[in-house]
Amino acid sequence: MNKILLFLIVPVLLCCKKAREEVGSVIEVPIEIEDGFGPFSANFSIFNAEYTADNADGAGWIPTYRPVRGVPKWEGVVKSMIWLDGYQLVYQNFHEGKIGKEMYEQLQKSWDWVPDETVLSKKPLKCFVYTVRGRDETGKIAVMVDTNNNLDFSDETAFYPERIYLKEGKYDWDSAGVYKKVFMVQREHVLRGEVVKDSILMIIKYAPDDEEWKRFWYAFPRYEKARFDWKGKEHEIVVNNFFTNAGFEESNIFVEKDLDSKKRLAVMDGVEKGELIEVGGLLDKSKFRNLGVDPRTGSLLLQAESADLDEYSLQKGYAMRPFKAKDFKTGKDIALADFRGKYVFIDFWGTWCGPCVQQLPGLREIYKETNKNQVQFIGIVKDTEERLDKYLTKNNLEWPQILSDSVNKLIETYKITGYPTTILLGPDGRVIDRNIHGEALKTRLKAISAGPVL
């Protein structure tokens, strides 16, 4: 009997030793670009008009704009520069003297960006594309895209953009993802140390019943697939860049278990850079850290981790790092540990963030209907003390608000880069949902509130 047990145990020990040796190794996974929205819900970004001299907030960007020719003589013409690569645009304009040192350093800090000169060019590249819009001679809204990126619209053709409509104040992004007309936009970027010229897909939508500044939307409908062999099995990963960027450096990744042919993936629900993915089954489970897409090679980098690694994270299934801070209004201490045994909904927001402020009335209604014995709301705010105080004086929020400052550094600790970011914790302090909003949040909290009192 003992001999049989020894025979069974030895291979297991050898297997574990091999796994330990693999921990920390980085694998480079080639990727293939696919056109379209694929398994994802569509996502778009807003056309922003160029800043003017009387807009102090955008004054620093004005020198970066380029003169264009051949603009049609439409009524109310608006010109927009769409960024294809914001990092390259800032880098080249700094070296051209069009962005000052102070602004350059501020952008690095706010973007948490350290310029990597191996993937950037001091020589100006076509890392943006211009569009113009207005009412043509028939009175219809028309658009032009400088597809060949020569800063001249005289060789482009005007078109009437496909429309998207609001339904009960919201967009149906799945229907918005259906499109007939696409543009191939020429661009330049650095890959493997060389300047590469290629083209990317672009689509444009028009929302006639939205606010004026939110009527024109664009997207780059393309995603990536990556396949790699690990321990004798092939695994598939899909990579999405939110469809608002030309590159994939800032991407979320999804593994096989995330894919569902009957349901589209929400673009924000994937594994972010620095977070963990899990592949394999119960007996051959493996974990990898997403190191992101390497801008130098265009490959996805994954770092092997221990299969039983558990760490603080805002990822689903992981515990949120504890914090202790002060309620902005009362000055009382608030610790995450105070709410152990309750569900905790945390909203990272700012008064300067339009979508954040727009969702607050809805949050107040959800809060009123939520069982306070079951669920605790907390706001964590990236803002100035003055602006937050002014906002809360005018708009009372019934749940605690914490200002992320130079002392508690909550925004930095949790590496929040998008707003609003929401987190729902279970009674055990582990994340059960992330970026849950509106009706989805209301339904989830209603079910929780109807449960047994904890």
- Give per-residue pLDDT as tens, 348-406: 999 988 889 989 999 999 999 999 999 999 999 999 999 999 999 998 899 999 999 98
* pLDDT of 151 above 70: yes
Residue 285: pLDDT above 90? no
pLDDT of residue 452: 59
Among the CATH numbers 3.40.30.10, 1.10.3720.10, 3.90.550.10, 1.20.950.20, which is that of 324-449?
A: 3.40.30.10
Are 200 and 188 in contact by the 8 Å Cβ rule? The answer is: no
Give the separation between CA 116 and CA 247, rounded to whole angstroms.
15
pLDDT at site 20: 43
- Specify the residue for token string 């050898």: 14
pLDDT at 212: 81
Q: Which of the pair, 22 or 80, is modelled with greater confidence?
A: 80
Residue 271 has pLDDT above 60, yes or no: yes
Whether 8 has a pLDDT exceeding 70, the answer reads no
Give the tokens for residue 198: 């290629």
Helix (H, G, I), strand (E, B) or coil at 69: strand
Residue 7 has pLDDT above 60, yes or no: no
Does pLDDT of 429 surpass 50?
A: yes
Instruction: Report residue 251's pLDDT band, with 50, 70 and 90 as the boundaries.
Output: confident
With 70 as the cut, is the pLDDT of residue 16 above it?
A: no
Residue 362 CA neighbour count, 13 Å, CB half: 16
- Greater model confidence, 57 or 405: 405
Name the average pLDDT for the chain.
88
Q: State pTM to two decimals.
A: 0.81
Tell me which H or E stretch contains 245: none
Domain boundary assignment for the chain: 23-38+224-305, 45-219, 324-449
What would the mean pLDDT of 131-146 be, rounded to a whole number? 96
| % of the chain beyond a pLDDT of 90 | 64
Round to whole Å and give the CA distance between 163 and 215. 9
Q: What percent of the chain clears pLDDT 70, i.e. is strictly above it?
A: 94
